[in-house]
Amino acid sequence: MTALRAAVAACLLIPALGSAATTEIRFLRDGAVVKRVDLETLKKKCELAAVVIEDPYYKKKKTFLALPLKQVLALGFERKPAELAREDFLFEALDGYVKPAAGARVLEDGGYLAFADADRTHDGQPGWEPIDRRQLDPGPYYIVWSKPDQSDAKGYPWPYQLAAIEIVHFEKKYPFTLPGGVAEDSPAWRGFRTFREQCISCHSVNGQGGKIGPDLNVPKSIVEYRPIDQVKAYIRDPETFRYSSMPAHHELSDAQLDELIAYFSTMKTRKHDPGPPK
């Protein structure tokens, strides 16, 4: 038996991690829970696989025990993949990280829901190698992508510590992040689209978005207490200022950085302060 076949066989031996709630993943639509599914149910209903990938966080080749993401979504939302491809999704992690993604991308072949690190799984007990600068346990689930052109963690959702997957209407979920009253072809709206694609996973505006990094608009906008050139330089390469988990954004053009500043400058007059995070 090859190593990969042995890893797939080991999938069948892995018990639920503690209680079912520990491995439960929630499926929501616009904030309402549609279904809750634990690992044992996922393993019974979806195909098991050992997936070998070049991991953008570990920066090396990794093998994961996993389930096809397309099958997981069809099970969780009880809808056909072709229907789900027309939706927009939000992936939510235990630490407050959120990653929006278009259904057409999420339903591509190559996406998997990993539930164990094959190299760290022994005697039927799953394990994980600590991930990223913070050296976190990426369980209970980690979205991974197997094709070389899907390895961009900014363009594709690669959330670890995954707890929930939601079908969302972005404007309904995060209405206070929109630069209302401004022309949709304006720099502020183009900056908003960059914020949505690149920043909202970790940062919020008006209390809406990711919870890992600070809110960028309340109680004060980032452009109200930092010089504009410093804000742009920090976005492009934060480690020139301090060591952190914030990724560099060398791919953003000068025009995109200017548009982000236009968005932040517009939003500082459109504050909706929910107060400090609970």
Q: CA 32 → CA 96, 97, 168, 173, distances in Å?
A: 18, 19, 10, 12
H or E stretch covering 83: helix 81-84
Q: How many CA atoms lie within 13 A of 6 on its CB side?
A: 8
For residue 63, pLDDT over 50 is answered with yes
pLDDT digits (tens, 9 = 90+) for 88-133: 999 999 999 999 999 999 999 999 999 999 999 877 677 899 998 8
pLDDT digits (tens, 9 = 90+) for 186-232: 999 999 999 999 999 999 999 999 998 999 999 999 999 999 999 99
For residue 6, pLDDT over 70 is answered with no
- Rounded to an integer, the average pLDDT of 1-7 is 51
State the pTM of this model. 0.86
For residue 249, the model assigns a pLDDT of: 93
Domains of the chain, earliest start first: 3-171 (3.90.420.10), 174-267 (1.10.760.10)
